[in-house]
Structure formats: C-alpha cells, structure tokens
Structure 1
C-alpha cells in the first residue's frame, strides 16, 4: 500500500462493469455480450447519420458543452410526463454522466463528513455500496428473502431505528431490482412511504421502459424521494453515458451544486436529444424484447437443475435449485463454459444474470447453457 493512500482502500473492491471480459479460456470470435443489460440493438442507421451530420455541421469541438442542459432537461421532463399523470419540469431534472455520477452526487450531498449512512438490501446494484465506501460513508446492508427477493422490512425498520452514529440518510432501492428482476411490492412501497422526511428515498428506475412501472407520481407528495433513470438501456445510448434524476427542485438544486461542470460531452447531449425526438422508433422493439424474455424464461425453467425467477426488466436471473458448499464453484464452471463459447453473462450473488438479447443470441444462450450444464455431474444437483 502506498503511504499516501487511504488505509481503507484495501478493503474496497472496484466495480467491474464488464467482468465477463476477463477470462482464462479462449473466447469465440463472435461474442454475445449479455452481462450488462444493454439493448441488443444499435441505433438505427438513420439516427447515426443524423448524429454524424450534427457532429460535422453543428457541434463546435473547440467549445465547451452546454453547462446547464436546459434543452435536454425540458425534453426529459416532457418524456417523463408521458409515463404518469405528473407536471414535471426542467427544474425537477438533473442530468449526469450516467446514473453513476448522480449516485455519487447524492452521496456527497447527504452523507459525506460523517453526516449519514446508507441502507441497501442485497443482492442489488453494487455501485451504491461501492461509491459510499469510496467516500468513507458507512453502508448498512440487509439480505433479501431467498424465496422471492423481497426486502426484510422488519430488519430494515430496525436498522433505521438503531443506526445513529451516523444515522441512515439514504435508502437505495431498484425498481425492478437488479440482478433479481423483481419490482417493488405493495408492502415495500408502503414502508418507503412511511419513512420520515429526513431520509432520502432513491428509487432507481433504470429498467422503467421494460417494466412500465414507475413511482414518479409519488414525487409531488414526497420531496424526500428521488427517481433515477438512464438512456443506457432501452434508449440504446450506453456508449454515451447519459442518466438523469427526477426530484423536488430543492433536491435538484443541491445536486447541481455538486455535479462537475461540463459533465456531459456535447455529442452525448446531442445523442440524448435525438433519442428523445425519435423515442417511438427506439422503443418500438421493447414488445419484442419482452416476448423474448417470456420465451427465454419458459425454456430455461424447463431444465430440472435451474430455478428461474420472473423478471420485470430486460434480464433474467437464475440459480441452481440444489444448494451446496460447491454451488458457487459450479456456477463459475458454467459461466466459464458460456464464455468459452462466446456468451458472456454475469455471475453474481449466487446466480447468473442473463440479459435478454436478440432472438439469435437468446437461442445461443439456451443451447450453450444446456451444453454447459450437461458437463456437470448429476450428483452436483
């Protein structure tokens, strides 16, 4: 450890966005990247041509980007209002370099300096805890039910009551959750609604376009709620890193104080505006992806070794039915076999998370997973 680095950095693991890209085995020349829940479809060529023209004729590369994002915020607000009976404006929006930047800004605005800790229910999106740790913020972690991945609300309430030094300032939930795919239940929503005003409730709706289930209509009555969304999934702009927060103007004002100046490149802003302008074109593949999700879930569930969970997102989470001391080793073997054939999925939290891909990718997933499982001895299950 270098003497000028924080001593606790040895205890923090870096978030690996593409863990499947590191493999000790040869990987097929054609790779199905089904590990990060991206859309399997690129931008349509006509939109790429439009962006190319914008870069050539409109964007001045020698000038800084739009620092205020006013046009983009207004267009995002217009889109958000289509998803619920709300009156969101640009004052309710903050835009970040992916949702990750906004998560970090939330932590800085609420908990840094021993002001607060955060509560998460695992398994869930690992960035919340990792970013908190990098900022020296305590993380209170609860385990979800292994039966349905619901939060243990009694344990969560006890944590809220007992954690005082520092107190819990932020509760992070994903709706639907990653990696498990389950949406917030009525009881979970009721508990979140019961939390006092000094606790910020962050509802990450990264997969809203697939679930069509949002809590954005809660914001008018709950200034201590914030919703995260992204252009990286359904809008096919993962390479451009555009995320946004929807919240009370006072919360947005705090985030605006903290975010880095010129945090979004001009080309990313242009791409997000084009995507919103042509959202019907981009989102019209979602019914097909949902149909593929149903087909993939049904076919995987036929395998006697697999427990496959229903998902409200664009991915599927599965586990081995029989749990043993070597379950993780078996999952790792399956994962390595898939990688060797060219299918990259996410081995996480005692299971495999598989992005729903194109029909061809999904068929290869089924074939390769069947082959990988056949290599394991029957006694393994």
Structure 2
C-alpha cells in the first residue's frame, strides 16, 4: 500500500496467473498450455515477416489486424465486420466488461468459473451475482433466465460464462446456450470458448440469429500460441464496434506484426490444428481412465485439462507431494472445489509419469 495509489488500486484483488516455476526436469501440468508446438507454418510466417534484416519491426503493425480478421472470418463463416482482435482473450474480455456488460445492474456468472471475471468487475466497478453450479458442477440454463417482472431489483447487466467451464471442464450444449440467449434478449450473453476445440461445438454458429451473443476465442490453447498473445471475439457488428471504440481508446496497436502473421498461419493450417486436437483428446481420455483406476473422481471434460479429486486424500497434500517429484498441477483453495486438482493434459509421456507418481504417493 502506498499513499500514491488510487482508491481503485487499493481495493483490487488481482488475478493470480498459473505459476511458471523454474525447476529442472519439470513436468508442468498447471497452466493448460498445449503439449504440442505451433504449426510449422507459424514459424515460417514469422521468419518471412522479419525478412533478412528485421527492418519491418521499425514500423507499426496494422491497428485493425485485417489479415487476421479475414482469416478468422473465413474459418468461422462470418464477415470481417463480425470479428474483433485483441492481445490474448484476456484483453478481449477486459474490453467486453467495459463496453458491453452494463454497469448499472449486476452481471451474472457461475460461482465456480474463470477467476478473472470478478477481478474485472472490481477493476471497472461492476456489481455481480454468482449463480451456483449444480451438484455435479454443471451449468443449469434455467438459473440464467431473465426475470419476467421488470424492476430495479431483478434487472441484470449481462451474462458471461466459459464453455467448457473452467476449471471444471464441463460442457454446456448449444441448445442450452440458445435457451439462455432467448431468455435474455435485452442484455449481452458472452460465451468464453477458450477450450471449445477440445470436444465442444462453438456458439459462433448462433451469431447470425442472436444480436446479443458474443463468442470469445483464444489461440493460446488449441493453436499452441500462448506465447504470442492472440485472442478474438465474434458477434454482431454493433457489438464489435463497441469493442473497437474501447480498444482505440486504450491501445490502438494490441497485436505486433509477428503475432498477426503467426496467428494467420495458425488459423489457416486446419490439418495440423485438427491433428493436435485429436491427440489431446485421446490423451485426455487415457488420463481420465488411468486416474479413475486409482480411485479418483474425474469430472467429464471437453477441455485440455481434467478436474479430479480423490475421496481419501487431501488435494493440497497431493499437489505438494507431486511438486516434490517435480510435477506441477493446479490446486484452487476455494469453496466447493478445494479438494480438486486441475491437471493439464500434457504429452502421453508426461501423463504416464503423473499417474505412475500418483500411484506411488497413494500407496
């Protein structure tokens, strides 16, 4: 605390990112990074952009990232006017909270969800209400229905949730998302699809029918580009215009030249993308079966991670025991989930090492 801090800063509880430890021979299964490298075409595109002397780096990048907007639009069957580009999906989300989630009424999101949502609410002074997940940690769309009686007491400022949810990994079907959209036509519904490529169906297919839907994606997970920081949103052009207005009041050049061309190459290499997603899903299924054979309860996952607990062993103690063996997983000290571990799907070798180590710990 400093006398120079603003009142806003003094009242913030910042987001805590996944640990990036510097441990030799580490098996890192705590931040949901893709175990595979990016498409080889990404490196080729970056090298081509640099040229022989990197002289292009003296020039500003395209503030609109038009090449990337076109690639995203082509991939998802929309127009470039339906696409917004940002510096990772977290920046996209930040602009969404400022531009589209109304500040005069509380917004809704699940009680167990991406922990950046309440952080943004604190940053922008937005009130919120959490909606409890069901006992099986699924989202019940009926709980997000708008109130039929209009009053200051029951109005909401918007709805946001990840699909698949994080950190549970559970998937909400498209018809359930559509149910939420129909019940809340006067506010924006934001579907955060960071992990949807690992077993879900994107809600982007609903954008042309619902002008209150915004879908957010990242290239950090399924495209293996966490190090480039690229995210995007797809929605009605009026929603995109609001995001552009905030972006251009904050940072007109959110993506550098190398990130733009690398992201375009990643979006265009559909064969490599599908191959990597299938491999992650196969390893996830094997890891789930192996952990269940050790007595773990594992929630159904459509993400590149699993959420698991052991009925006889404390999750914090298991996480520490794994860390002592140079295996890092994520443990959340939060109500309802403090006995769960979130485990990133790594390579087959890494996941085998995890299960073998757990077998020894449990023994």
The two structures have a TM-score, normalised by structure 2, of 0.89
Q: 1-side partners of 2:82 and 2:214: how far apart?
A: 10
- Using a 3 Å threshold, how does the CA distance of structure 1 residues 121 and 300 change in structure 2: closer, same or farther? same
Total equivalences in the alignment? 354
- Using a 3 Å threshold, how does the CA distance of structure 1 residues 158 and 10 change in structure 2: closer, same or farther? farther
Partner residue of 2:90 out of 87, 95, 100: 100
Aligned 1:239-254 pairs, distance under 5 A: 239-254=227-242
Q: 1-side partners of 2:207 and 2:305: how far apart?
A: 27
* 1:120 alignment counterpart: 109
Shift of 1:227: 0.4
* 1:377 alignment counterpart: none
Shift of 1:336: 1.4
Q: Note if 1:342 corresponds to 2:333.
A: no
Determine if contact 2:114/2:166 at 8 Å carries over to the other structure. yes
Shift of 1:19: 3.2
* 2:304 alignment counterpart: 314
Q: 2-side partners of 1:315 and 1:37: how far apart?
A: 6
Q: Note if 1:275 corresponds to 2:263.
A: no
* 1:299 alignment counterpart: 290
* 1:19 alignment counterpart: 19
Q: 2-side partners of 1:61 and 1:118: how far apart?
A: 41
* 2:49 alignment counterpart: 54
* 1:144 alignment counterpart: 133
- Using a 3 Å threshold, how does the CA distance of structure 1 residues 50 and 212 change in structure 2: closer, same or farther? same
Partner residue of 1:218 out of 183, 196, 206: 206
Determine if contact 1:206/1:233 at 8 Å carries over to the other structure. yes
Q: 1-side partners of 2:265 and 2:308: how far apart?
A: 36
Q: What runs of 5+ residues in structure 2 fail to find an aligned partner?
A: none
* 1:68 alignment counterpart: 64
Shift of 1:46: 6.0
- Using a 3 Å threshold, how does the CA distance of structure 1 residues 370 and 43 change in structure 2: closer, same or farther? same
Cα deviation 1:263-322 (Å, max 9, x = unaligned): 111111111012123232243122221111111001101123x21111111111112336
Shift of 1:2: 2.5
Determine if contact 1:115/1:166 at 8 Å carries over to the other structure. no
Shift of 1:159: 7.7
Q: 1-side partners of 2:280 and 2:79: how far apart?
A: 31
Q: 2-side partners of 1:339 and 1:158: how far apart?
A: 45
Shift of 1:162: 8.7
Partner residue of 2:30 out of 35, 41, 44: 35
Determine if contact 1:297/1:308 at 8 Å carries over to the other structure. yes
Determine if contact 2:306/2:342 at 8 Å carries over to the other structure. yes
Compare 115-124 and 310-319 and name the one that shifted more.
115-124
Cα deviation 1:100-154 (Å, max 9, x = unaligned): 1111111111347x433321102111112211111111121122113x2123555
Q: 2-side partners of 1:189 and 1:115: how far apart?
A: 24
Cα deviation 1:167-218 (Å, max 9, x = unaligned): 4222111111111111114673253133332211001111122124112221
The two structures have a TM-score, normalised by structure 1, of 0.85
The 3-state SS of whatever aligns with 1:238 is: coil
Shift of 1:160: 9.1
Q: 2-side partners of 1:367 and 1:89: how far apart?
A: 49
Q: 2-side partners of 1:290 and 1:371: how far apart?
A: 26
Q: Note if 1:264 corresponds to 2:255.
A: yes
Q: 1-side partners of 2:187 and 2:139: how far apart?
A: 17
- Using a 3 Å threshold, how does the CA distance of structure 1 residues 187 and 161 change in structure 2: closer, same or farther? farther
Determine if contact 1:315/1:355 at 8 Å carries over to the other structure. yes
Q: Note if 1:79 corresponds to 2:75.
A: yes
Q: 2-side partners of 1:2 and 1:180: how far apart?
A: 37
What is the root-mean-square deviation in Å for CA atoms of aligned residues? Answer: 2.5
Determine if contact 1:20/1:344 at 8 Å carries over to the other structure. no
